[in-house]
Amino acid sequence: MNGSVPGADHRAERGPVLRKGVGIPGSGWFDPRGRALGGFAFSANRVTGLGLVFYLYLHLGVLSMLLFGEPTWNHFIRLATSWVFLSLDVLLILGILYHGLNGIRVALVGSGLVADRQRALWWSLGTVGTIALIGAALHIFGSK
């Protein structure tokens, strides 16, 4: 079985170059060097996913301030509408858009609906995401 797949003999060896194009290895997925577009998209999807999980708990923590009443929340609102926080909001939108749109691509490719169009999907959804990100950034900074 091992001899039937190109590069199968080298799969156990470490290093991103040897793994290039063969598939996502069991470890080292966070290292996008030497990977094709699919590998980079996979790494970025996981990094944004981890970031969004972190944000989920941060968001719950921030919303807990509502339990302490209006003065606490108003104090937070003043802080959250500073340029630094609004910039972090744009970064959050970037993460959400990337993870969501790449998720659509993975679902379409993985389910076999458009298995042979993953590059085209990546670029077209990337364009949609970029436009949406610009719109969101204009809305966020425009409200300041």
Partner 1 sequence: MATIRTRPEGSHRRTLRTGPGRSWVATTISGVALLVLLGVHMVANHFVVRSVGGLRSYRQVLEYMQHPAIFTIESLFLLVVTVHAMLGLRGILLDLDPSRRAQRWIDVGLTVLGVLTLAYGYFLIGTLASRA
Residues forming the site for partner 1 (CB under 8 A): 4-6, 26-27, 29, 46, 49-50, 52-53, 56-57, 60, 63-64, 66-67, 69-70, 73-74, 77, 80-81, 85-86, 89, 96, 100, 103-104, 106-107, 110-112, 139-140, 143-144
**Residue 26 C-beta: closest distance to partner 1, Å:** 5
Please check whether residue 105 is in contact with residue 114, taking contact to mean a CB–CB distance below 8 angstroms. no
| Shortest distance in whole angstroms from residue 118 CB to partner 1 | 15
Give the residue with the Cβ less far from partner 1, 14 or 67: 67
- Give the residue with the Cβ less far from partner 1, 77 or 134: 77
Contact predicate 95/51, CB 8 Å: yes
Contact 99, 17 (CB under 8 A): no
Report whether 95 contacts 127 (CB < 8 A): no
Give dist(CA 39, CA 12) in Å, integer.
Answer: 18
Q: Which is nearer to partner 1, 66 or 91 (CB)?
A: 66
Query: What is the torsional sign of CA 130, 134, 137, 139?
Result: negative
Q: In angstroms, what is the minimal distance from the CB of 86 to partner 1?
A: 6
Q: Which DSSP state fits 82? A: S
The nearest distance, CB 124 to partner 1, in angstroms, is: 16
* Phi, psi at 5, each rounded to 5°: -110, 125
Decide whether 74 or 130 has the Cβ nearer to partner 1: 74
- Minimum distance from residue 17 beta carbon to partner 1 (Å): 20
